[in-house]
Amino acid sequence: MRLKTFTAATTREAMDLVRDELGELAVIVSSQAIPETGETWVTAAINPEDEKQSDHQMPAKGIGAVVRALNEHGSPLGLTDRLTDVMHDVGGEDPQHLLASALPSLLGFSPIAEGLKRPILLAGPPGSGKTIIAAKLAARERLAGRTVSLATTDTVRAGGAAQLSVFAGILNAQLAVADSKAALSKLMENGASARPALIDTQGVNPFDRAALGELAGLAEAARAELVLVLAAGGEARESGEIAAAFASIGAKRMIVTRLDCARRLGGLLAAATSPLALAEISLTPTIADGLEPSEPGLIAELLLRNFAMSPNNNIAASPPYEVIQ
């Protein structure tokens, strides 16, 4: 049995909220007038099986559409409930407007400004796409007519520095390799013209405190902002814990990659409440494009477009692939 309390100016409006979110099969447990505000509280309940039946019987709209999409994405229940409370205050029927208006109450948005003023050290778990992001950020700077330098401390992974070297050659950008904190610090002291703007690093285990400490030391040596690079599609709690681990060593922002390969973004939501601000999102593997500054409207669009508003068109019921017997 799932219980939820709804608050509205009138009993009728509260009942509308119950139907929008829980469906026609919800049972009203109690209602109460609030003398101080004149509002009404309505507590409703629904059995999980009835809730599934309601989903198949009723097209979702308004808040109900957003809640259905968030549930499909695996959004943490607490986060969904808090967003729902904010959407009740926003009002209206347009799902994207409701979600875009509610997201800034829980998530931070802080795009990386063009024209880098401070070195950025890209960090994250192995395989999260740090090297590609370094190339994408460098390409954005070069396309805007600005000079950019690249550096890497990834001297252990086979082909790590070589991959970035290829990108640097294409972008006509300077590339330096530093195999230690001392080397990176010396590199940064060579003068403004040789100062790397973007620093790629070796992937680290986010639950290895010693490895995280070494990474924090690299950022300090470079006097750089440490930015987490995290692939989309991860399980929500795992993604949240990874983001929190990098926040513990000074990260304030994150870049989310592989959104073209992920359908469920509950991990993105969990990571962004870690509390790292969303900076950029990577929508394609193409170096010259596909990196977008993060903002509430874009995140709301991504969360809603993966799942149809009507249960008859739900992705879970109609997988976009052929099953071969």
Please tell me the predicted confidence (pLDDT) of residue 313. 41
* Sign of the torsion angle spanned by Cα atoms 125, 155, 120, 138: negative
Please tell me the predicted confidence (pLDDT) of residue 61. 72
Residues 142 and 252 occupy one common structural domain: yes
Residues 147 and 223 occupy one common structural domain: yes
| Mean pLDDT across 118-142 | 92
Segment among 51-60, 139-148, 224-233, 257-266 with least mean pLDDT: 51-60
| Mean pLDDT across 154-161 | 72
Q: Is the pLDDT of residue 58 over 60?
A: no
Residues 17 and 147 occupy one common structural domain: no
Residues 217 and 177 occupy one common structural domain: yes
| Mean pLDDT across 22-35 | 75
In terms of Cα–Cα distance, which of 239, 221, 275 is closest to 124? 239
User: Is 10 contained in some domain?
Assistant: yes
CA distance 275 to 78: 15
Q: Is the pLDDT of residue 314 over 50?
A: no
The first and second tokens of residue 240, run together, are 């949240």
Residues 49 and 67 occupy one common structural domain: no
User: Is 182 contained in some domain?
Assistant: yes
Q: Which of 107, 141, 169 is the last residue of a domain?
A: 107
Please tell me the predicted confidence (pLDDT) of residue 37. 77
The first and second tokens of residue 232, run together, are 């989309």
Residues 141 and 211 occupy one common structural domain: yes
Q: Is the pLDDT of residue 316 over 60?
A: no
Angle at alpha carbon of residue 115, lines to 113 and 120, rounded to 5° = 70
pTM of the model: 0.76
Residues 196 and 89 occupy one common structural domain: no
Residues 91 and 239 occupy one common structural domain: no
Q: Is the pLDDT of residue 311 over 50?
A: no
Beta carbons within 10 angstroms of residue 143's beta carbon:
12
Q: How many domains does the chain have?
A: 3
SS3 219: helix
Residues 255 and 139 occupy one common structural domain: yes
Residues 289 and 140 occupy one common structural domain: yes
301 pLDDT tier (thresholds 50, 70, 90): very high
Domain holding 71, by residue range, is: 59-107
User: Is 49 contained in some domain?
Assistant: yes
SS3 202: coil
User: Is 162 contained in some domain?
Assistant: yes
Q: Is the pLDDT of residue 64 over 60?
A: yes
User: Is 298 contained in some domain?
Assistant: no
Q: What percentage of the chain exceeds 90 in pLDDT? A: 45
Q: Is the pLDDT of residue 315 over 50?
A: no
User: Is 48 contained in some domain?
Assistant: yes
Segment among 3-7, 10-14, 65-69, 208-212 with least mean pLDDT: 10-14
233 and 218 in contact (C-beta within 8 Å)? Answer: no
Please tell me the predicted confidence (pLDDT) of residue 52. 56
- What is the per-residue DSSP string for 254-312? EEEE-TTS-S--HHHHHHTTTTPEEEEEE-SS-TTS-EEE--HHHHHHHHHHTS-SSGG
User: Is 324 contained in some domain?
Assistant: no
Which tops the pLDDT comparison, 21 or 89? Answer: 89
321 pLDDT tier (thresholds 50, 70, 90): very low
204 and 125 in contact (C-beta within 8 Å)? Answer: yes
Q: Is the pLDDT of residue 50 over 70?
A: no
Residues 255 and 163 occupy one common structural domain: yes
Average pLDDT of every residue of the chain: 84
pLDDT digits (tens, 9 = 90+) for 180-233: 899 998 888 875 445 668 999 999 999 999 999 999 999 999 999 999 999 999
In terms of Cα–Cα distance, which of 141, 219, 202 is closest to 173? 141
300 pLDDT tier (thresholds 50, 70, 90): very high
CA distance 163 to 130: 11
User: Is 325 contained in some domain?
Assistant: no
Residues 52 and 63 occupy one common structural domain: no
CATH number at residue 41: 3.30.1660
Strands (E), the chain: 2-8, 27-33, 40-46, 120-123, 149-152, 174-177, 198-200, 225-231, 253-257, 277-282, 291-293
Please tell me the predicted confidence (pLDDT) of residue 46. 78
CA distance 142 to 115: 10
The first and second tokens of residue 305, run together, are 């477009």
CATH number at residue 271: 3.40.50.300
